[in-house]
Amino acid sequence: MQIQEKPYLTGRTFMFSIQKGEDLLQAVQYFCHHHQLRCGLITAIGSVERATFGVYDQKAKKYVKINIEKELEVLSLSGNVSLFDDKPMVHAHLMLGDIEGKAYGGHLMAGTRVFSLEVFIQELTGELKVRKIEKATQLPLWTNPLGSK
């Protein structure tokens, strides 16, 4: 576990919408690049025309991709933005519901097409979180500047 020395402070707060037809992940990623937003929390609600998300296969160490070709409500999207390769990287998970109320969910991937979406991002200021590929999981995880396990 990481011991955090200093708490983060809140920076800018953004509320915006993403329009029909846009790629959800790319649109949020673009917004973060455009506003130089390098650390923060993301939530969103709305609906999508189709979805692509993944579930990480921990043994094979790769994402199993799931595509759902129907309209879905975004019941919940939560994620964060931090640095990977010196660029803001959005990491988000979402839960989706279909017309029968069935739920699906996973790790948001490119290909999820927005119908309408309201996004909230809270920027955090303080020591930047930086991702690096971690050996044990093969995932881009936050590095620990304190050097503990």
Q: Binding residues for Zn ion, per CB under 5 A? A: 107
Q: How far is the CB of 6 from Zn ion (least distance, A)?
A: 26
- Closest residue to Zn ion in the complex (CB): 107
Q: How far is the CB of 91 from Zn ion (least distance, A)?
A: 5
The answer for residues whose C-beta is within 8 angstroms of residue 5's C-beta and 6 or more apart is: 146
Q: How far is the CB of 41 from Zn ion (least distance, A)?
A: 15
- Identify which of 117, 118, 119 has the alpha carbon closest to the alpha carbon of residue 48: 117
In terms of CB distance, is 11 or 56 closer to Zn ion?
A: 56
The answer for residues whose C-beta is within 8 angstroms of residue 38's C-beta and 6 or more apart is: 32, 81, 82, 83, 88, 128
How far apart (Å, rounded) are the C-alpha atoms in residues 129 and 96? 28
In terms of CB distance, is 35 or 107 closer to Zn ion?
A: 107
Q: How far is the CB of 79 from Zn ion (least distance, A)?
A: 8
In terms of CB distance, is 50 or 131 closer to Zn ion?
A: 131
